[in-house]
Amino acid sequence: MARAFGVYDDSLMEAIHLLKYGRKISMSRPLGALARETFFQFWDGDAIDLLVPVPLHVKRLRKRGFNQAHLLIRRWAKQEGIPFDGFTLSRSRWTAPQTELSRRERRKNIKGAFSVRHPERIKGRKIVLVDDVYTTGATVNECARVLMKAGAEFVDVLTLARAV
């Protein structure tokens, strides 16, 4: 299951861009509240074992200074007592930015880019994977594939926005 707060356009797109590219980390608080609202609309917090943000490659993380998916969940997950893990799933291979690629190119670009560092933290867990935008699904599908291969019971997806 994949669920998003809203459509990736207008003010939601602008807010996400301010966070992600404008480095307005203060936007993570209201955007995180939207992510929280969406999470509890579609999932029972007690039925989910782990929230996992889609990781950035270490090179991109150093350049940006933060992982926007991690910022979207860190406050409310802790307050609600929902475990989250931003380290077990890693982006082990550098990839070109997905924004300028076609659907087919995105799938090819992202294939094999993720790995699970500690499969024992994933095995048998009910996971909600978190990202900012769901465009073609290539990134979250590859993450989910790797998490399922590591033994996750299921992997659902929560994003702020869905491109249509």
CATH number for the domain that contains residue 137: 3.40.50
Question: In a 3-state reduction of DSSP, which class is residue 152?
Answer: coil
Structural contact between residues 122 and 83, judged by C-beta atoms closer than 8 angstroms: no
Question: In a 3-state reduction of DSSP, which class is residue 11?
Answer: helix
Residue with tokens 């203060």: 26
List strand residue ranges (DSSP E) for 28-153, in order.
50-53, 89-91, 114-116, 126-134
Distances (CA, A) of 97 to 34, 101, 146: 25, 8, 20
Beta-ladder partners of 158: 3, 130
**Residue-level pLDDT at 93:** 86
Taking residues 5-20, report their average pLDDT: 97
95: confidence class by pLDDT, cuts 50, 70, 90: confident
**Residue-level pLDDT at 100:** 77
How does the average pLDDT of the chain come out, rounded? 94
Taking residues 7-14, report their average pLDDT: 97
73: confidence class by pLDDT, cuts 50, 70, 90: very high
**Residue-level pLDDT at 101:** 77
The one-letter amino acid code at 136 reads T
Taking the CA atoms of 10, 13, 18 and 21 in sequence, report the sign of the dihedral they define: negative
Which range marks the domain in which residue 76 is found?
2-162
**How far apart are alpha carbons 67 and 74 in whole angstroms?**
11
**Residue-level pLDDT at 106:** 85
Q: Is the pLDDT of residue 107 over 90?
A: no
Structural contact between residues 41 and 52, judged by C-beta atoms closer than 8 angstroms: no
Number of domains within the chain? 1
More confident residue, 50 or 95: 50
When mean pLDDT is compared across 48-62, 72-86, 96-110, the lowest value belongs to 96-110
**Residue-level pLDDT at 108:** 84
